[in-house]
Structure formats: structure tokens, C-alpha cells
Amino acid sequence: MASIFSRIVAGELPAYKVAEDDQHLAFLDITPLVEGHTLVIPKREVDYIFDLPAEELAALHLFAQRVAIGVAAAVPCKRIGVAVIGLEVPHAHIHLIPMNKVSDMNFANPKIKVAEDRMKELAAAIAAQVPLAAGETSRKSASLDSKGSRETTEANEPATTEASADGATAQLQQLTQGLVFMSESDAPLEPVSYPAPSGELTDATLLKLLGEPADTKVEAKELTVFLRNHTADQGVLGDPAQANRFKALQMFMKQELQDTKVYRVGSGPQVKAYALGKTEDGKLAGFKTVLTET
């Protein structure tokens, strides 16, 4: 009888897939220890991982390495833990577990329940961050659009702020690279970083921080509302890979930054938009772009 994983490979059972090639598949564990807990399997059904021929074992670990990069980029954590248990399902598999403390890897811990929408969001975010293998130009299509080519567009010009090499800014540089916000025209997303004010971020404080006139119009919006057209399944350009990248950006800003909002500054025909949230080290970080509205 085929294992449950072989049935997933055959398409008989659904899965939240995050990466796939001709020999391997990676998908979210539906009874995870933590959010982002991912399983990596060979498509060929082999019960015991060390029964795999050396070249297949090596290929499985190289595939897992790329998936781990995607998990680490999409799910805030200190390390990606790696485990092979081999007793639950008679099909070789590797656990990749985002961890912030050693106990996150304890399989005696109660499993958590993650809502379906959140699982879809996680799968899309991880899929968007898994690097392509050497020689690949696009990923093999998978459910939840786990394919998606990496952008080769040159990096955006650094923002004229005190942008630093801190973790949040570096991650934002990666997440925004090559992304374009579509309104009546298109404009790149540029990562930005500013010193956070000591008190509340009022309109007056924000305008002073941005160097804008004190009477400039400011309108605040929720990030999910601002990006809703770009994070739709097909995205504003009909490109699932781009939509997944916007989802990854949105998830990072909501999880890693506090009080994230989008501030529309000015009035038409061109409006500046700043998506900003507070970092742990006391900065405002995010991205800026320009909206064209005639």
C-alpha cells in the first residue's frame, strides 16, 4: 500500500507544497511543532532514509538545503532545525523546523493547529523564497503556486535614509528587490529605514521625518488593504510568482515590525506611499513607492 506521502506525490491527497523538482517534494507538516514546520521527501518511496543510494541521499539533502533557505527567509527564527525520525510514516523524510529555542525541536511537545488561510500564506511565502537550483529558470508548478522564478532585476538604488545593515533592513532589501507597485503607472518598491520618534508617530512627526511640508496631506491605511491587489492569487499582473513575493513581504512586515501601516503622503496625480513599522532596535523600517492617480 502506498504511503501517505506517495499519495501526495501522486496528487491523490492535497498538501501545502513549497518546493518541487523531478525527484523531490517539500510541503508543510499539517501537525506542526511550530509554524513553518516543513517536510522534505524523495518522490521515490523508500522507507528508511539511509537505504537511499549515496547519490540520492546527497541530492535529497541538497534539495532540503534550498528549502531551508526559503523557510528561514519567510519565517522569523534563529535557526532551521533538522531532524530525521523515521517512525511516523514509512517514507523517508526530513523535518525542517524554524526554531528560536532548543525546545522547539522537542517532538514530545503538543502539536499546534494552524488555520488553513495561515497555512496557505506560509506555503506561498516560503515558496517565494526558495532559491532555484543551478540551471533552473523556473520552478516546477505545484499547488498553492509554489513555483516562481527568482527575479534577476538589478537591486533598487538604496533609499536616502540612514539605512543600515541590520537584519530587518537587509531582509527588506531582499524582499523588495525587483518588485513594482502597479497603479496607473508602475513604480519600484525601495527599502527605507529612519530613526523612530520617541513618542507616538503623529502626522506632524512623520512629515518632519520625511522632510515634507507641515501642511502635506497624510492618510494611513492597513498594509493588507494597500497590497490586496498585489497579493491576490494571480496578482495584479497575473503572475503567481510575483503575488507570492508580495505575500512574503507582507507577512514579514506584519510579523517582524510593530504597528505597521502605510502612509499616503501628498495628493494626486502622484502620491508617495511609505509602508513603515517599528523594529526591535528602535527604528522605522519598511518600503516606499509612488502611486499615480489622475
Instruction: Write down the residue that cell numbers 513594482 correspond to.
Output: 180
Is 93 known to be catalytic? yes
3-class SS string, 66-96:
HHHHHHHHHCCCCEEEEECCCCCCCCCCEEE
CA 95/CA 26 separation, integer angstroms: 10
Pair 124, 17: CB distance under 8 Å: no
DSSP sequence for 108-130 = TSPPP---HHHHHHHHHHHHHHS
Beta strand residue intervals within the chain, DSSP E = 17-20, 24-28, 38-42, 79-83, 94-99, 180-182, 186-188, 190-195, 218-221, 258-265, 270-278, 283-292
Q: Which of 37, 93, 95, 230 is catalytic?
A: 93
Residue 268, beta-bridge partner list: none
Q: Tally Cβ neighbours within 10 Å of residue 6.
A: 18
Beta strand residue intervals within 88-240, DSSP E = 94-99, 180-182, 186-188, 190-195, 218-221
- Residues annotated as part of the active site: 93
